[in-house]
Structure 1
Amino acid sequence: MAKKNLSTSLKLNLKLLRPQNSITSLFMGKEAPPKRRLRAVSAPYIPWLMPSKCFPKKMDEKPSGYFDFTVYPLEGVWDINNKAKESYSGEIKKEDFVYKLMIRQPDFVKLPLFKEILNYVKNKKTNPLLNQVNFETISEEKCVQMLHLGRFEDEPISFEKMEAFTKDQGLNRLSKVHKEISLSDTRKVVPEKLKTVLRFRVG
């Protein structure tokens, strides 16, 4: 359902977003895999990012407000490290990236439930990355977003349009930090047809 709603935002638009709960994991520099493999990187997380699949089949009581749901798309918040910011000249090196991967969660997933699910999965799977994950409430507030169609390398073209739109609205981009929401499976879709929602905060 989330994918359908996002993919209809084909034009530039201004969004006022409410806080959302997400399961996150932070990567820095060379330890972070290339952007084109983000969905593959998320694969080890999928079982515990899907609470409906994590609950033991014989669980007597489901959490309050529980409903079956479709997993939200993979999101990533992109930034560069402080050293790179000090010497920024318009060029960004891959080793300077700092980014956080996340999967939005339905409203019924709260911190206690996340801890329960995480402990359950840790007992079922051995994966050191499980120790890196956190449960966070993400507040984006006022943002400009756009659906980018095509290769990741061509995103600067879309960002130029977004920044011009922001200026026309009498607003300012608050920082170079931005969010990307992957609507396409990079294992199945050619780069020229990838769909990625781009978003940054404005004020």
Structure 2
Amino acid sequence: MRRYSLLVCLLLSACAGLPSAVRDVPVKDISYSQASQNLNSYKDTSVRWGGVIIDVENEQNFTLIQILSYPLNYYGRPQLNKSSEGRFVIKSTEFLDPAVYAKDKEITVAGTLQGDIERTIGKKTVRLPLLASRAIYLWPVYQASPYYGYGYSGFGGYGFNPYFGYGYYGSPYYWGGWYRPYW
């Protein structure tokens, strides 16, 4: 019984870090590189992939989003510090606004492999895996604070910062990247 309870805990915690939009879709653990080598054997298989948006094309009844694929981390976010695996195309029956789904934004999608689609990259025509989306998650853009990247230093850098005290950048001793004695 102990083994079964451990197995249940592991299975429940496996998807705990994923956003709810893509967590609730049952998928098989098939990587982009596995599927792209033999796409016909994985047709109609549910997968979860992600990457960076390259292009958005809105047609009359659907939207195509071309993605530069990256492996996903534990939370389902594309790992941009790893090497890219290639490209794939998401097909959504919904209208996806190109202003929202803009170039260079990170995205994770859960969907079904439908085969491949022909795309032109530069002057070369290539065949890319086509993924019919069931759930899409657009990752928020993290913006670091322009003042040390953490803490609060008020408007324009002036004010109280719990780490550095009062003054510009939180310190009365800060001067152009260096600290100096206060005179």
Q: Relative contact order: is structure 1 or structure 2 higher (C-alpha 8 Å, sep ≥ 6)?
A: 1
Instruction: Write 1 or 2 for the structure with the bigger share of helix.
Output: 1
- Give TM-score scaled by structure 2 length: 0.28
Instruction: Write 1 or 2 for the structure with the bigger share of strand.
Output: 2
- Give TM-score scaled by structure 1 length: 0.26
